[in-house]
Amino acid sequence: MTTTHTLTDEDRANLESLQAQIDSSPVGRGQLIPLLQKAQKTLGYLPEEALALVADHLEITRSEVYGVASFYNQFRFNPPGRNPVKVCMGTACHVRGGEIILENFERKLEIKEGETTEDREFSIERVACVGCCALAPVALVGETLHGHMAPSKVEGLVLRVRVEKEKAEREAAKQ
């Protein structure tokens, strides 16, 4: 079915919240997509435990719930990274090496598109178009747009995020 991820304490708390939301929801097949949307909004993704809660509430099989969830692109089965990397694959970006940029992020982060690093710091996603064709190829790291990407820029972007995280952790430790 889905890739198994270790649930964090935050995930467990969110699952409890989701359980309460599901318990107050009506039962019926028409509730499947709304409940999946509610689960993803609460958790940021759909772990097996969330699919099980939905299936149990609607009294349908988990494989049926997974079948519907996996059909729609809006649902994700991996937790999003705190720094999601979105690599544009629109025509302009594709022609100017978007695929190579994506491969470089995958190699540097040691994950594939659609996956999240073990520490949940990064996730990689291929997107259709970000609307900045004049800056192709383009990648978004978090909310920051990076245009005229080159394979050599990938390592620097990843390193910058990691350094900023360490700096923030040191500042928090001082207080």
Q: Annotated binding residues, as ranges?
A: 88, 93, 129, 133
DSSP E strands in the chain: the ranges are 83-88, 122-127, 139-141, 144-146
Residue 85 phi/psi, 5-degree rounding, is -105, 120
- Residue 29, SS3? helix
In contact, 38 and 22? CB cutoff 8 Å: yes
DSSP at 96: T
Tokens for 133, please give them: 């064709």
Longest CA–CA separation in the chain, Å: 53
Q: What is the dihedral of CA 46, 52, 57, 58, to 10 degrees?
A: 80
Contact partners, residue 10, CB within 8 Å, separation at least 6? none
- Binding-site annotation: residue ranges for [2Fe-2S] cluster: 88, 93, 129, 133
Q: Is the peptide bond before 26 cis (omega within 30 degrees of 0)?
A: no
